[in-house]
Structure 1
């Protein structure tokens, strides 16, 4: 479902951020969780639209994708301002951790929206200005990474909501699988360049940039695992990935 927009055609409005709940911090945090998950739904819709734009140039979808990013920005700002009004001194230690988790996920989802919008711009520039399309193999590879992104986004939101340790460990395993696949696809693309596949040569820079963008998105989607698992369990992996996400 697309978010509610004012009749004037403005951006989405928050549905769950009840100001009267601010006097009860645990209830306010639950409201913020629901609104943040709504942002996650918008990101999923944006990703779906991006895949369709990759497959074929669809101006209407491109326009809708940009509107969705405006909605993400609006809801992110609303969640941030709502949480800023929660009296921190009234929070228990557990609620303080949850407050931080909500802010972190909201920030990551907002960053993801910006990345997806930039990816759209790159694709449009390539298809309209230069009139080049991806090779069948290249498009299949991007679609494969896209499918993995969708799975990890949904799993990341589930981990954020449930706090389940086993799901968090699965999310980190999926993150590693994604990185391994990303490397394989980058190598396969270089292989096509060696074989002088014309479409691959024409779209080479964009192809590799999009793979890198998807890698960054995947890291954002998988970050909720670290808040759930013990620091000792994830510390080594996290340190290994810093700067290379």
Structure 2
């Protein structure tokens, strides 16, 4: 068997809570504009705007906030009160300042793996926000490399692994997104471990490759040690 050298982890909704705050803000946004449209319709319109803006703003809270403002202006035909725009901005600021909440079993699992493998974080999103969360997580010192990227695809992973002197065949990526964390690394010949999160963003959904020999799924990060032991 190929020697496993690197364990790479996604950050948002793998190491700490993230999507939950987006959904809470989305609910507040729908309530804010309830006089103009049905909440379900607002959610659909916001999702359409986010999809359209990914190429402009990328992933993260700032793009989400701009998409909320754009949706509010569209729904109200440009008549959204300044107070509504201000409230949306305030919600975005709250998200950017929210404390980091580690998910269960994360701290002890990362600590237990240090020294046995080279540990990395490979995450996408806004640079400043991701740097803030990594710093506040208390985990930064356990990682040998931290990569914040604009998107996750096979080429992204190939370049990241190459910069760190490892091939995908010797790496394992662990994350909550099948689309971004697991499938691209499997395509390169690496290992992919899916850790489902109850609120994974709809854009990150994909079918699990159950028959792939290097695919694994665990209920929480505490199950990773069992996966590693099973590989011999």
Same fold (TM over 0.5): no
TM-score calculated relative to the size of structure 1: 0.26
Structure showing the higher strand proportion among its residues: 2
Q: Pick 1 or 2: higher relative contact order, CA cutoff 8 A, min separation 6.
A: 2
Structure showing the higher helix proportion among its residues: 1
TM-score calculated relative to the size of structure 2: 0.27
